[in-house]
Amino acid sequence: MSRIVDPTHADPVADPHADPALRPRRFSEYVGQQRILDNLRVYVRAALKRGGALDHVLLSGPPGLGKTSLAYILAEELGVDVKTTSGPTIERKGDLAALLSSLEERQVLFIDEIHRLPRATEEVLYPAMEDYEIDVILGQGPGAQSVKLPLAPFTLVGATTRSGLLSAPLRARFGIHCTFDFYSTDDLQKIIERSARRLGVVITPDGCRELAKRSRGTPRIANRLLRRVRDFAEVEGDGTVDKPLASEALSRLDIDDRGLDTMDRRILSTIAVKFSGGPVGLDTLSAAIGESRDTIEDTYEPYLIQQGLLNRTPRGRVVTVRGLSHLGLPTPTDTQERLL
């Protein structure tokens, strides 16, 4: 899949139907991750000044925080094309070699879920990233020869939700490492306001704030909730998303005041009630709630841990006192007070 970036393209904010994905197009439109953004601006300006390819960039962090959007923005700011693929779809060395050899000078290659590249396939990237060349085997058997095929200087942008699964040799070849954090409520409010304008949704500041507070610090979730609350506003309201309507709609979606949904609370309550607060192993927890361990680890745990509701320990997962309190369950302090 290839996307040709046109720096002269009109700002899609003017057209609410222009970009269903609601993705920002330039650094100036991107909200949050300010430290990462400030550094990338410097790196991009330096690459443009030199007239060379930007160094390879690794974007890591939980899903939905804007890694893919930032990869496209990098290509837009560099004024080059971007080719996109994902780790699981590249099964053979030849597939990756063909993709690399088709890149033009300074072009951006974006690989999502790069940690899922097969190890043997990943090795094709080592000389490509370091020396802009790949090894091609000509012939078969004893007469086979290895020939180095030169590549146009390019920028590899890799995105991962589990940077710990990247091999050390691959990680070391990325010159720029960016780790994404969950967004503040203020930043999410700005994102929701911008998305509302593009979708043609009338939203009050209080309604926007309510959505932002319950979006788990994640822009993707904020935009999804905005679309669902818009449905309630159009069908059961006057089309305006205010705080009472947003609160009622989110409650009907089982999103509580901290942004936890049904599965979040099920994870916490299963550990707290079935396993007496933990510790409990990830495989056991996965079997108990009927959710895959990867989904628990990648999607649900980061926010629960960030909120101080859950802890990872060497022996397993443990619900914190704050987690017990959020569920309305007795905490150790409550028990001690009753005994006294």
Which one of the listed residues 112, 187, 242, 264 is annotated catalytic?
112
User: Is 157:67 a contact under the CB 8 Å cutoff?
Assistant: no
Which one of the listed residues 68, 155, 218, 320 is annotated catalytic?
68
- Cα–Cα distance, 318 to 276 (Å, whole number): 9
- For 215, 219, 250, the CA distances from 224, given in Å and listed in that order, are 9, 9, 11
Reply yes or no on whether 93 is catalytic. no
Reply yes or no on whether 220 is catalytic. yes
- For 7, 183, 199, 262, 306, the CA distances from 241, given in Å and listed in that order, are 34, 22, 13, 23, 29
Reply yes or no on whether 68 is catalytic. yes
Which one of the listed residues 67, 106, 198, 214 is annotated catalytic?
67
Reply yes or no on whether 89 is catalytic. no
User: Is 156:189 a contact under the CB 8 Å cutoff?
Assistant: no
Reply yes or no on whether 179 is catalytic. no
**Peptide bond between residue 279 and the one before it cis (omega within 30 degrees of 0):** yes
Which one of the listed residues 85, 155, 160, 161 is annotated catalytic?
161
- For 75, 123, 326, 338, the CA distances from 107, given in Å and listed in that order, are 8, 21, 48, 66
Which residues lie across from 84 on neighbouring strands?
110
Which residues are annotated as catalytic?
Answer: 67-68, 112, 161, 220
